[in-house]
């Protein structure tokens, strides 16, 4: 049995309001089983600085890996990067490599102030590259910060799994039946 554990933090008011259905947690859970990392907890939280800070620090201390999704885009409610900088007592500043990646990605005149916000993150954070839309996520200690958009998150998560320690994969067999649990029991 693997000693590698994980916690997932889904960040977004849109998930808690029911406006958006979370599919990231299910994807991450399935992928972690395949690579032998035991998912211990999934928590969905608001776009609220104190809640993000408290949850990320608690998970950081409790699990081998922490994966967050959501709140790193260009809009006013995207406060995950700043919250994580505060959680780890890091300066929240422009990441030169992230800025360069984004500047090269957007056509001339389209790299506006809002998009530039996606290059501001905790100082010295390691980038998690985004082959789809260029806007990177980042890693600080054992916390991997990913976007909430499912197709982008899935691609980035799959790539980052190639670079972390894995355990022994767990084989899962599903048997479908039309019987109720009470009959089977």
Question: For 129-161, how does the pLDDT look when each residue is reduced to its tens digit (9 = 90+)?
Answer: 999 999 999 999 999 999 999 999 999 999 999
Q: Quote the CA–CA distance of 49 and 87 in Å, as a whole number.
A: 10
Collect all residues with Cβ–Cβ distance below 8 Å to 115 and sequence separation of at least 6. Answer: 74, 102, 106, 135
Cα 169 to Cα 31, 35, 67, 117, 155: the distances in Å are 10, 5, 19, 38, 20
Q: Tokens for 42?
A: 């999934």
Positive or negative CA dihedral for 23, 53, 142, 137? positive
pLDDT at residue number 2:
57
Q: 3-state class of 1 per DSSP? A: coil
| pLDDT tens sequence across 13-32 | 999 999 999 999 999 999 99
Residue found by looking up tokens 């490599």 in the block: 97
Tell me the average pLDDT across 62-67: 98
* Residue 84 contacts residue 143 (beta carbons within 8 Å): yes
The partner residues of 49 in beta bridges, in order of sequence, read none
Is the pLDDT reported for residue 74 higher than 70? yes
The partner residues of 11 in beta bridges, in order of sequence, read 45
Whole-model pTM?
A: 0.93
How many contiguous H segments (helices) and E segments (strands) does the chain have? 8, 8
Q: Quote the CA–CA distance of 48 and 19 in Å, as a whole number.
A: 17
Q: Tokens for 158?
A: 């799959």
Positive or negative CA dihedral for 34, 36, 42, 47? negative
* Residue 52 contacts residue 16 (beta carbons within 8 Å): no
């Amino acid at each position: 049995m693997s000693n590698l554990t994980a916690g997932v933090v889904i960040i977004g008011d849109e998930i808690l309001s029911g406006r958006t259905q979370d599919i990231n947690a299910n994807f991450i859970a399935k992928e972690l089983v395949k690579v032998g990392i035991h998912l211990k907890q999934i928590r969905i939280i608001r776009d609220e600085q104190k809640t993000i800070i408290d949850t990320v620090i608690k998970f950081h201390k409790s699990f081998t890996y922490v994966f967050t999704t959501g709140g790193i885009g260009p809009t006013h409610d995207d406060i995950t990067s700043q919250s994580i900088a505060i959680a780890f007592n890091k300066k929240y500043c422009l990441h030169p490599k992230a800025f360069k990646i984004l500047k090269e990605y957007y056509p001339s005149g389209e790299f506006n102030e809002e998009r530039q916000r996606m290059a501001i993150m905790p100082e010295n954070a390691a980038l998690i590259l985004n082959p789809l839309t260029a806007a990177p996520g980042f890693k600080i200690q054992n916390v991997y910060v990913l976007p909430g958009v499912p197709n982008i998150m899935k691609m980035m998560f799959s790539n980052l799994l190639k670079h972390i320690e894995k355990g022994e994969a767990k084989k899962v067999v599903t048997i479908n039946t039309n019987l109720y649990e009470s009959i089977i029991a």
